[in-house]
């Protein structure tokens, strides 16, 4: 009777070796994504991810069926923000609606007195 007690051997045998290969690929892919996100945010940025291997065991009449699952979690890439002003009618503006444009030319001083 051959006994298998080593976790590395068990994982290596599951799904005819395909599980270990898929797990290795998911680890590599996760690390690659995390490195890219960290590089994009600067060298000191900590970016966390996760690879989880789940083994479900079903025992019946002295035999066992093993169902495996691999879940990966990587944060989404951060997006930059954009700043605009909101006008009274709900539109966006790149200029402050209450400030005048000093480059549009001279304005009549009488317009200023009416406000």
Residue 33 has what pLDDT? 93
* More confident position, 53 or 92: 53
In a domain, 108, yes or no: no
Residue 115 has what pLDDT? 53
When pLDDT is cut at 50, 70 and 90, the band that residue 80 belongs to is confident
Tokens read off for 12? 């290596």
- Tell whether pTM > 0.75: no
Least confident of 19-23, 34-38, 100-104: 100-104
Residue 6 has what pLDDT? 94
Residue 62 has what pLDDT? 92
Which residues span the domain enclosing 34? 7-73
Least confident of 25-29, 42-46, 107-111: 107-111
| Overall number of domains in the chain | 1
In a domain, 84, yes or no: no
In a domain, 68, yes or no: yes
């Amino acid at each position: 009777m051959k006994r298998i007690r080593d976790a590395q051997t068990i994982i290596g045998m599951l799904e005819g070796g395909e599980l270990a290969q898929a797990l290795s690929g998911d680890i590599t892919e996760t690390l690659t994504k995390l490195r890219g996100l960290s590089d994009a945010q600067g060298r000191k940025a900590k970016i966390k991810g996760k690879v989880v291997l789940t083994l479900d065991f079903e025992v019946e009449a002295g035999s066992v069926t093993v169902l495996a699952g691999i879940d990966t979690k990587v944060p989404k890439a951060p997006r930059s923000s954009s700043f605009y002003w909101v006008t009274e009618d709900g539109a966006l503006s790149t200029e402050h609606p209450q400030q005048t444009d000093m480059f549009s030319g001279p304005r009549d001083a009488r317009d200023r007195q009416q406000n």
